[in-house]
């Protein structure tokens, strides 16, 4: 997955170190990480790892990179919070050199001068990188969409992109995930009316599954819980841990008296709770999978409960997700999921018109599409 090295003379900076889950044909393989041989062979040149945001496909391989190279890591507070969680699992926190940056900060690393630029994405505190090199400016967008109405009111920093564009950019590297989708990706705010309708109609328990890192989404679920007088229980290890990281950093506001401990779920009236749960991809040990087959200690579904899948299906996971959803339907749950309109999930990646907007603002001499299937990168190149 995502990992890119920028090299000039005797210096290298690395951008992101992601992992992916294996395709079906890789039997017995748990996770797939990048081949770091190029970096290991040039270890004395590698100055730092720069992280664009905290999704697994960008930070999942950090412990594996750090096991080979003792280099400092730069990222925003939330990104590094998620990295710490991974490093803890590998018992590597004592040796890690983590440096928190925020959008607008600049950093000198050998011949590279790095500026972090705020972008909107399905995770908080995502940044693009503008790296001034002796040959010219390189802009790496990271993952993004251009959300005109972000729920945290932190807009995409188009001005910085335009400023660099005016001064001249050598190379643009840009997210291609939705290059084959026409028009504009909907704002995160677009899910609100649909969720509001679901909250107002649900008679019994409301169980909403989403990615634990989707802090904007979880904040909307918390706000609606307050409005509709439901208590919120976080279920699943990643949901519990990541929401705590976001809350501790002040990135998630939990209204007073809203939280419910999972162990109190069974004793609370079904109409008074919303359960926010991780495990949207049908991972066998996840909280939602266990709820689906009625093997969860604290939650069992019954007829009249509503289950909302507020996330995308990562290609390859269809079978396990549909199997899990069938189990929940057998328990009498009313299932609400993607493809229905208005949406219960919106993408975090820019569609064709947003990609063209960035290309027009930056006007780079060279362009390299990043991130996505090859056909999407090829489409992005054609847009350019
Ligand atoms: Zn990504
Ligand atoms: Zn991402």
Which CATH number do you get for residue 55?
3.60.15.10
290 lies in the same domain as 358: no
Distance, CA of 220 to CA of 243 (rounded, Å): 13
Question: How would residue 28 be classed by pLDDT, with cut points 50, 70 and 90?
Answer: confident
175 is catalytic: yes
166 lies in the same domain as 229: no
349 is catalytic: yes
Pairing verdict, β 73-75 and 98-100: parallel
Q: What is the per-residue pLDDT across 97-114, written as a single tens digit (0 to 9) for each?
A: 999 999 999 999 999 999
Q: Is 341 a domain residue?
A: no
- Cα of 8 from ligand 2 centre, angstroms: 27
- Cα of 371 from ligand 1 centre, angstroms: 7
- Cα of 143 from ligand 2 centre, angstroms: 5
- Residue 112 pLDDT: 98
95 lies in the same domain as 117: yes
For 191-229, give the DSSP string: GHHHHHHHHHH--S-EEEE--TT-HHHHHHHHHHHHHTT
Q: Is 109 a domain residue?
A: yes
Q: Where are the beta strands (DSSP E) in 71-220?
A: 73-75, 98-100, 106-109, 112-119, 126-133, 136-140, 171-175, 206-209
Q: Is 297 a domain residue?
A: yes
Q: What is the chain's mean pLDDT, rounded?
A: 95
Whether 304 contacts 262, CB under 8 Å: no
Is residue 25's pLDDT more than 80?
Answer: no
256 lies in the same domain as 284: yes
Ion ligand 1 residues within 5 Å by Cβ: 55, 57, 143
What range defines the domain where residue 371 resides? Answer: 4-184+348-383
136 lies in the same domain as 195: no
List 16, 175, 296, 345, catalytic entry: 175
154 lies in the same domain as 278: no
- Residue 356 pLDDT: 98
212 lies in the same domain as 89: no
- Cα of 369 from ligand 2 centre, angstroms: 15
Q: Is 313 a domain residue?
A: yes
Q: Is 276 a domain residue?
A: yes
Residue 39's nearest CA partner among 7, 62, 73 is: 7
Of the bound ligands, which one is closest to the alpha carbon of residue 57?
A: 1
Given CA atoms 208, 17, 108, 166 in this order, what sign does their dihedral have? negative
Of the bound ligands, which one is closest to the alpha carbon of residue 144?
A: 2
- Residue 284 pLDDT: 86
Mean pLDDT of 221-249: 97
Strand partners, 58: none
- Residue 99 pLDDT: 98
Q: Is 217 a domain residue?
A: yes
- Residues sharing a CB contact under 8 Å with residue 102, sequence separation 6 or more, in sequence order: 76, 77, 116, 125
156 lies in the same domain as 294: no
Structural domain count, the chain: 2
45 lies in the same domain as 109: yes
Question: How would residue 188 be classed by pLDDT, with cut points 50, 70 and 90?
Answer: very high
Distance, CA of 265 to CA of 128 (rounded, Å): 41
Of the bound ligands, which one is closest to the alpha carbon of residue 176?
A: 1
Instruction: Average the pLDDT over each of 64-68, 139-143, 302-306, 341-345 and give the range with the smallest value.
Output: 341-345
The CATH number of residue 324's host domain is 3.40.50.10710
Instruction: Average the pLDDT over each of 74-88, 109-123, 311-325 and give the range with the smallest value.
Output: 311-325
Burial class (CB in 10 A: 0-12, 13-18, 19+), 256: exposed
192 lies in the same domain as 301: yes
173 lies in the same domain as 195: no
Question: For residues 351-380, b (16+ Cβ closer than 10 Å) or e, as one string?
Answer: bbebbebbbebbebeebbbbbbeeebbebb
Strand partners, 139: 130, 172
- Cα of 214 from ligand 1 centre, angstroms: 13
- Cα of 200 from ligand 2 centre, angstroms: 31
- Residue 95 pLDDT: 85
Whether 186 contacts 350, CB under 8 Å: no
77 lies in the same domain as 196: no
Burial class (CB in 10 A: 0-12, 13-18, 19+), 70: exposed
Q: Is 342 a domain residue?
A: no
Eight-class DSSP state of 285: T
Question: How would residue 334 be classed by pLDDT, with cut points 50, 70 and 90?
Answer: very high
What is the residue whose two structure tokens read 């996770």?
31
Is residue 142's pLDDT more than 80?
Answer: yes
Distance, CA of 205 to CA of 174 (rounded, Å): 42
- Cα of 88 from ligand 2 centre, angstroms: 22
The neighbour count for residue 341, using CB atoms within 10 Å, is: 6
Pairing verdict, β 366-370 and 334-336: unpaired
Of the bound ligands, which one is closest to the alpha carbon of residue 125?
A: 2
Q: Is 94 a domain residue?
A: yes
List 53, 55, 349, 371, catalytic entry: 349
């Amino acid at each position: 997955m995502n990992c890119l090295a920028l090299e000039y003379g005797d210096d290298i900076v690395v951008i992101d170190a992601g992992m992916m889950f294996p395709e079906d044909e890789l039997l017995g393989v748990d996770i797939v990480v990048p081949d770091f041989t190029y970096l290991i062979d040039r270890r004395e040149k590698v100055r730092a790892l720069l992280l664009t945001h905290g999704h697994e496909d960008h930070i999942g391989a950090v412990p594996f990179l750090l096991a080979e190279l003792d280099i400092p890591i730069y990222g925003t507070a939330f990104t590094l919070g998620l990295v710490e969680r991974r490093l803890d699992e590998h018992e590597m926190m004592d040796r890690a050199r983590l440096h928190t940056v925020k959008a607008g900060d600049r950093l000198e690393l050998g011949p590279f001068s790095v500026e972090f630029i705020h972008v909107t994405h399905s995770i908080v505190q995502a940044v693009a990188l503008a790296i001034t090199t002796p040959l010219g400016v390189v802009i790496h967008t990271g993952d993004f969409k251009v959300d005109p109405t972000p729920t945290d009111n932190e807009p995409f920093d188009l001005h910085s992109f335009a400023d660099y564009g005016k001064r001249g950019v050598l190379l643009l590297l840009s997210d291609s995930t939705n290059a084959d989708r026409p028009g504009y990706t909907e704002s995160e705010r677009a899910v609100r009316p649909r969720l509001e309708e679901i909250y107002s109609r649900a008679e019994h328990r409301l169980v909403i599954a989403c990615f634990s890192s989707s802090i904007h989404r979880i904040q909307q679920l918390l706000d609606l819980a307050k409005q509709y007088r439901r208590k919120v229980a976080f279920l699943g290890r990643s949901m519990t841990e990541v929401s705590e990281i976001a809350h501790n950093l002040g990135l998630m506001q939990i209204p007073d008296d809203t939280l419910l401990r999972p162990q109190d779920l069974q004793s609370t009236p079904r109409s008074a709770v919303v359960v926010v749960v991780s495990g949207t991809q049908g991972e066998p040990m996840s909280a939602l999978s266990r709820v689906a087959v009625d093997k969860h200690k604290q939650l069992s579904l019954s007829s009249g409960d509503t289950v909302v899948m507020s996330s995308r299906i990562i290609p390859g996971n269809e079978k396990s997700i549909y199997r899990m959803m069938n189990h929940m339907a057998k328990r009498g749950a009313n299932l609400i999921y993607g493809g229905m309109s208005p949406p219960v999930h919106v993408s975090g990646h820019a569609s064709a018109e947003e990609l063209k907007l960035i290309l027009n603002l930056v006007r780079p001499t060279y362009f390299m599409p990043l991130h996505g299937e090859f056909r999407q990168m090829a489409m992005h190149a054609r847009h350019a």
